[in-house]
Structure 1
Amino acid sequence: MALEITPCVTDEEYDAWRRVRIAVVPYERTQSVAELREGDTPERLLVLAREDGVVVGHGMANRADSAASGSVIPRVLPEHRRRGVGTALLHRLVEHVETLGFPMLRAGADDEESLAFARRNGFEEVNREVEQTFRIDGPVEPTPRPDGIEVVTAQDRPGLWEAAYERFGLEALAGFAVDTPLDVTPESWVRSWLGDPMFLALHDGEVVGCAGLGLDPDQPARAENGLTAVRSDWRGRGLAVHLKLVTLAWAADHGITEVYTWTQDGNGPMRSLNTRLGYATTRVGIQLARPTRRG
């Protein structure tokens, strides 16, 4: 069979790309065609793999959130694996990252088959993430709001999230328990890190904490926790617990029965907080890296 790997251009191709992701990663939210379009940048490449015109896989290459790194994500539909499609996709994605000039490649795996494929291609484990899931079977009652705190949504206060990048966002991003510091641009902060809803804790008009949700139109009863963070001078006052419960209460009120979150294995405080609230560990994800030819 003739294998063809081409960039996504039309809405039909973007829709085919998302259908592959839904099939391979059914337990995570997949962006809509409109959201995929909004995320277009010169650095990002989305491709489809076809054999004799039939879509058999897809891929994405892009700037990674980790400093000086590009990410590569090849996926192949289960019935089309072990025929070289994943390897061909990986080579195409790596070529794109190398044209961007990044010295490191990043990838992820959360099953043994994907992990073995990554290792065969020179990737080594650098971080682990733990998925924790909260099942909602009734109303959720938030703890009392700490004194001096006002909680609003970013959607009700346009511009507040953008303005929080320097004072709040950079500190929150620096706190990730990862092997390489994150390097998130102001544009990516707005495009990729804003939940909907995103609850913001304000003190004297400044953002000192946040917690949000990523809703899933394909599975309306499920949602993903967005960034949950509290500025260092406000930690230890119950603000993170309050914000987390506010998001779960909102989810319960809107018919969501399952909320999941990914937390770095080394972020003990957040994992412990989730466990205390009733989240159960449901999956482990492995983050991998290898140098590019520039590395």
Structure 2
Amino acid sequence: MRRHDTIAKVTTPTDTPEPARRPTTGEPDSVNHGPMAPDQRLPPVEPVIRPLDLDRDLATLVPLYSSAHPSELVNADRLRHDIAITSETRRLDLVAEVDGQVRGYAFTHLDTSIDFEGATIAQVMVEPAHRCRGIGQALAKRLREHWETIGSKVVVGRVAIEDSLIFAMRQRFAPTSMQRVSRLDLSTPVQVPPVPEGITLRTLAESDDYTPVYEVYTVVLNEVYNDGPRTPMPYDTWHTACAEDPLLDRETTVIAFDGDRPVAVSWMARAGDRLESMLGGVIPEYRGRSLSQLVRAESLRIARDNGVVEAFTASDQDNAAVFAVNDKLGYEPYIKQYTVMRQL
């Protein structure tokens, strides 16, 4: 399961945030982060919009998704999993074809993780070389029609490149929050702080019973996403969505225990030699003991020892405590991503 997409607090930004900038390190050259110059654009087209055919289209979606979200880990199995776990939420998946080739992808579904009627998630992504041709507009039009049929009231998306932010604002979405994505080069050893007395560290791979892990995960999740009323995720739902994520790395996911009680978690996903922090934190009564830094550092140490070369994490721009942990661990700014919202 990818970093949690949720309804953000409804805010009215007083200033338009600075668009995402192209990273200076670690960025694949094929990813386009800035608006395309007019003389580089291909002519407008009228794409064929059709429902996603998972078996036929899946291989095409992986590079397309990565171009829109360069720090997120994705593969065919994870995309298939993400679609499956939201299949009962009035989900719609569409692709846009140009000359028989898939050049764009969009999806939307109700957000059942928050107690807000009509809360909806949506994403539109277009292959970099084919942006500004009307493909995104055609996909967005079909999404708007679907929102009317499912009773959407607030629609939220995430954008991580400048093209996408500009496109979202033209679709009457407003940025409501900004997250900083940070990157860590794991070419140098990771320094793990001393483990406090009474605290033990275990990886998820060492856990036979996931119930205690579920408990700390849900507490930390509600602390991180304090964005509206939430009904706790049932264990079976959590296990399917999170513990069965195809990219979940049980070897680098670390939990801190005080006796038998889990008190901090570093939940990690891995694809090849890249690592992504999906969730991290400590339960409220154990704050101030550097346990969040401890479990993250242990995750990174294990990852480096097992061939990971770079790690990513995303944090809200106002979360000074998380930035302090990331800075101590050596993370550096990579890109900015925005939560955008449209009220219908």
8 Å CA contact 1:134–1:280 kept in 2: the answer is yes
1:70 aligns with 2:106: no
The separation in 2 between residues aligned to 1:202 and 1:54, in whole angstroms, is: 51
8 Å CA contact 2:156–2:340 kept in 1: the answer is yes
Higher mean displacement: 51-60 or 150-159 = 150-159
The separation in 1 between residues aligned to 2:143 and 2:233, in whole angstroms, is: 22
Higher mean displacement: 15-24 or 241-250 = 15-24
1:61 aligns with 2:61: no
Partner SS, residue 227 of structure 1: strand
Offset of residue 38 of structure 1: 2.7
The separation in 2 between residues aligned to 1:158 and 1:63, in whole angstroms, is: 33
Partner SS, residue 263 of structure 1: strand
Deviation per CA, 1:195-239: give whole Å up to 9, x if none: 4132111223222110032111xxx22211121110111111121
8 Å CA contact 1:201–1:209 kept in 2: the answer is yes
Partner SS, residue 133 of structure 2: coil
Partner residue in 1 for 2:337? 285
Offset of residue 164 of structure 1: 4.2
Q: Aligned to 1:190, which of 239, 253, 259?
A: 239
The separation in 2 between residues aligned to 1:183 and 1:265, in whole angstroms, is: 26
Tell me the TM-score normalised to structure 1 length. 0.87
Partner SS, residue 179 of structure 2: strand
Aligned residue-pair number:
286
Gap regions ≥5 residues in structure 1: none
Q: CA 1:144–1:277 in structure 2 vs 1: closer, same or farther (change >3 Å)?
A: same
1:87 aligns with 2:137: yes
Higher mean displacement: 235-244 or 12-21 = 12-21
* TM-align CA RMSD: 2.4
The aligned amino acid for 2:189 is P
Partner residue in 2 for 1:268? 320
Partner residue in 2 for 1:235? 287
Partner residue in 2 for 1:7? 51
Partner SS, residue 185 of structure 1: coil
Offset of residue 115 of structure 1: 1.4
Higher mean displacement: 117-126 or 7-16 = 7-16
The separation in 2 between residues aligned to 1:115 and 1:181, in whole angstroms, is: 27
Gap regions ≥5 residues in structure 2: 1-44
8 Å CA contact 1:177–1:266 kept in 2: the answer is no
Partner residue in 2 for 1:131? 181
Partner SS, residue 228 of structure 1: strand
Higher mean displacement: 192-201 or 223-232 = 192-201
Aligned residues with identical type, % of pairs: 26
Q: CA 1:255–1:285 in structure 2 vs 1: closer, same or farther (change >3 Å)?
A: same
The separation in 1 between residues aligned to 2:231 and 2:124, in whole angstroms, is: 23
8 Å CA contact 1:178–1:264 kept in 2: the answer is no
Q: Aligned to 1:36, which of 63, 71, 79?
A: 79
